[in-house]
Every structure is written in structure tokens, then in C-alpha cells.
Chain A
Amino acid sequence: MLERLKSHISVNLFFKLTTLMRTKSLSALLLFLLITSTAVFGQLLVDMEATPASVESNQQCFECHTRQIYSYENDWSGLVERKAMNPNYILDSAAFHQGVHRHFACTDCHSPEYESFPHAAEARLEPMYSCMDCHGGDETYEQYHFELIEEEFYKSVHSTRYDDSFDCWMCHDPHAYKAMTRGDFKISEIVQNHNKTCIDCHNDAVKFSILTDSVRPDLALVHEFIPNYNLHLKAVRCIECHTAQEDTMWVAHQILEKEFAVKKCVDCHSSNTMLMASLYKYQNLEARQDGFLNAIILNNSYVIGANRNYIFNIISIVLFGLALLAIAVHVFFRIKNR
């Protein structure tokens, strides 16, 4: 219990500190405090195993914000009124409790003013945190390479083509975000999850138009040149062809202009396939979970047209060589005994 409390307090404190920093008046002092305290807080930030401390406190918000219709008692008329919830403010509580931020109370990130109802109109103008406000420069999250992600994002078309309104939340919902790390999930699940991030907007006319007035291209149509497009979409991630691939990156964020997307089949369908630079390097891990034999036979042989299975290659070359040798010997004796 004490641990939970400590964790909760430290999380709250961390956010309050960063919020205060935005006021700039105390920034110098707080920066010093923040740096000296990060080491302590860093250890306590999130204990992923523990039951979320915020379940009860969030219940009040979820009462309305997980429903399409919410009801409240109108103090003036004394009537219970039922209203439709703005779809943008409806949360999936199940997804929230599976997400990485499930340990937070709503008011850790949102203004405490939301604790009263009806909510104050100004509360809506509160500045929102960005990923980097909490994750930037923090050792706890070093393995996720947030700085690199930010750097790549600023080079991506999502950033260069649009103003600052394109932020992390456009693609990653902090209320439901699940870290899908290589090794812990099946490749197919990771592919599906990552592609959903892109498709949610690029296959949705309304969401697509949040950023641009241009006509949304039909995904199936622009990818017509790929045989079995739907199968490709299940097996490889959009970012495989649409980003500059860096081996060190967990998820490449430098989305390129469409002209620079990979279009040559052999870039993937070859023995030195570029796919080995990213996610699929970890295919071996997955294969080994199914047993040793599978690991040996399935290794490096998942792409049609690039059967990189050396055992089969060697067997076939040996058999072919033997057949040719037998023919050569036969020809030799036929000529000799003519």
C-alpha cells in the first residue's frame, strides 16, 4: 500500500513540477529540483505490475466518459437529463486499463477543475502534455528512444507538411496506448497494431480531413502495383516501405514523401532483404518459441521469392549436381563405346 501511495504521489509531483515549469517564473529553480529528483522519481514512475492506484478516483470520470449517453441531475430544474456524449470524449475503459498509462489518475494530466460538474468552460483551454514532457530525457524510458523518435518525427512528412497541430496524440492515443515490444508479442500482432495506427486515418475520410483538404487517396488503388495487397498489409508494416529504416529504431517515425517509398519488389524479396533491418530480425525469437526444429527450418525463409533456407539450397544444389554428373558419365561412356 505504501509503495502504491509513494508511486502515486511521485507521479503527481512529477506532473505538478512540469506544469509549474510551464509558467516559467520558477523554471530555473524547478529545473534544478527536477534534475536532482528525477533519479529518485525515475525508479518510482510506473510499477507496471501493481494494480492501478487511480481506479477509484477515475471512476467518477469514467461514469460519463465511457458512455455514449450520460445523465446528470440539473440543479436548476431538478430533472435528471440524458445527453449524448461528444464521441471525441468517449473512452474505452477496458483499453485504458490495459494501456501503459493505466496507473494515472485523469487529473494527473487533466486539470483538477474537471473534478467538478458541470466542467468549467476554461478547462477546455488547458494546454495538453506532449509525450516528451514526461518521457523526454528520462533514463527510465531510455530503451524506448523517445529523443530519437522525436528527432525522426520532426523530419517526417507528418511534421514538415503540417503545423504543430500534428502531435503524437494524432496517432497514439495516450488513453489506450499499449507498448508492443519485439519479443513479447507475435510479429503478426505487432504488424496489425502498427498498421492500424496508419490506417485509422489514411482509410478514414473524416479523420484524414482533419489535416488536409486534399482528397484522400484510396489505399487499395495506390497500392495496386503490389500483388496481394491485403496479404502484404497483414504481413508487413506500412512503415517498412514508407520510412527511412534505422536499425536502432524501435519504430521508425521518419515517414517519407510518397515518392521515396520502397517500390522495388527485390528490396524485400531478396536474400539481403531490407526487412532484416527491423522487426523481422526478431522473427527468430518468435520461431524459437515454437521449438528448435522450427527455428532451424523457418529461420530466414518467410518471404516468398527469397527462400533463404540454406539447408534446402544446399540439398537442391547437391542433388542437381549429382544428376548432371550422372548424365555426364553416361554421355562419356556412350561416346566411348560408340
Chain B
Amino acid sequence: MSERLYLYPIWLRIWHAINAFMFLVLLATGLSMQYSNPDLPLIRFDLAVQFHNIAGLIVTFNYLIFVAGNLATKNGNYYRLEIAKLYKDLSLQLEYYLIGVFKKRPTPFPINEKRKFNPLQKVTYVATMYGLMPVIIVTGLALLFPEIIIEKIFQSSGFFLTAILHTIVGFMLSLFLVIHVYFSTMGSSPTSNFKSMVNGYHEPH
């Protein structure tokens, strides 16, 4: 076994843990409100609203820590996309996940100190963290302070558009969560990445 790599500093692990837990709260309460049913309440509506609001604010604050942390430490470098090689790199990584992994081929982008994420991961994380997260945070805050929402946008209700955008992005993020958790099982062993979440050390393949 090669040397273990300390890849996940403590602030990042705490950030990730808070994010993960709050995501679950937001998902459960969000689904409960979205499909609310008086006869079969998953979580009581008024409680779901409260928990959703609180968890949303925590995630928002946590997001600021993430952005600040990425600006202040070299963790931000891991998110820099190499646009020129992107298509080729993505194809390689996709091919590995679809074929290579079953043929026990080595991973095309092994993790090291300079590269925490493979290209597919990087693209997904950038899209999620810098694309979807700001949208869900802004729409979420708008729904929390509805007086700031523009009432009519192209003859449609501003509330409706904000709510539907929040819901769609929320759905996309929950889809991300499921896939993200599944890919976590593709470390050197199915559980190794979950151990790394706690102790900060990456176990190479």
C-alpha cells in the first residue's frame, strides 16, 4: 500500500460534514413540503418550513465559508478547469467509469497532492458549487424575503418563477447528492472515501 495522502484539512471536513447533514435536512423537508399531504405528513408542514429555513441559512453561511476558504487556501486550485483538454479528459474518465473500472484498468487520473478531483468530478463540482449553489441560495433567500421578488416577469408571477427555479435546482442538487454518494463508493474500497471524510487521509488505489 502506497503512502497515505493528507488531502482533506480539518476546516474542509467540518464544512463538508455540515453541508452533508444540512443537505439531508433540506432534502427531507423540501420533499415533505413539495408533496405535502394532510393525510400523510412526512414532516408537519409548519415544522418543515421552519427547519428548511434554518438549514437553508446554515448552508448559505457555510457556502460563504467554502468560497472564502477556497480564496484563502490552495484548495481553490483543485477547482480550476483546464478547458483546452476538457473534452479529451472527460472522455477518458467516462470511459474508465463505463468500461475500465470493470476491466480493472488503472484510473486515468490518479489522485495526488496536485489533483484532488478527476476531470468529471471537477466539472460536476464546479457546476454545482459555482453554478447551482448560488442560484438555490439566491432564490431561497428571495422566498424567505418575498417582498424583494419582482412581481411580474414576462407576464408570469415572479413568485412562481422563483419558486419553480428553486425547486428545479433543488431537484438537480438532490440528483447530484445521490450520484455523489454513489461515486464515493468507488475508492480503493467501497468504504475508504467515507473514512477519509472523517480522518482527512486519502487512501490511494
Contact = CB atoms under 8 A, between A and B. Distances in A.
Contacts, number: 84
B199 interface: no
Contact of B163 (A294, A307, A330): A307
Contact of B178 (A265, A267, A307, A327): A327
Tell me whether chain B's interface is mostly helix, strand or loop, or mixed. Answer: helix
Interface residues of B, number: 33
Interface in A303-338: 304-307, 309, 312, 316, 319-320, 323-324, 327, 330, 333-334, 336-337
A230 B148 CA distance: 13
Contacts of B168: 312
Contact of B36 (A231, A266, A312, A320): A266
A270 interface: yes
Q: How large is the interface on A (under 10, 10 to 19, 20 to 34, 35 or more residues)?
A: 35 or more
B120 interface: no
Given A231-B146, A298-B157, A333-B102, A305 B34 contact: yes
Interface stretch (B41-49, B56-64, B83-91, B111-119): B41-49
Contacts of A290: 155-156
A291 B155 CA distance: 9
Interface string B67-91: 0000000000000000000000000
B45 A307 contact: no
A123 B41 CA distance: 62
Contacts of A333: 102
A305 B36 contact: yes
B11 interface: no
B37 interface: yes
Interface in B142-168: 143, 146-147, 155-157, 159-160, 163-164, 167-168
Interface of B: 33-38, 41, 44-46, 49, 97, 101-104, 143, 146-147, 155-157, 159-160, 163-164, 167-168, 171, 175, 178-179, 182
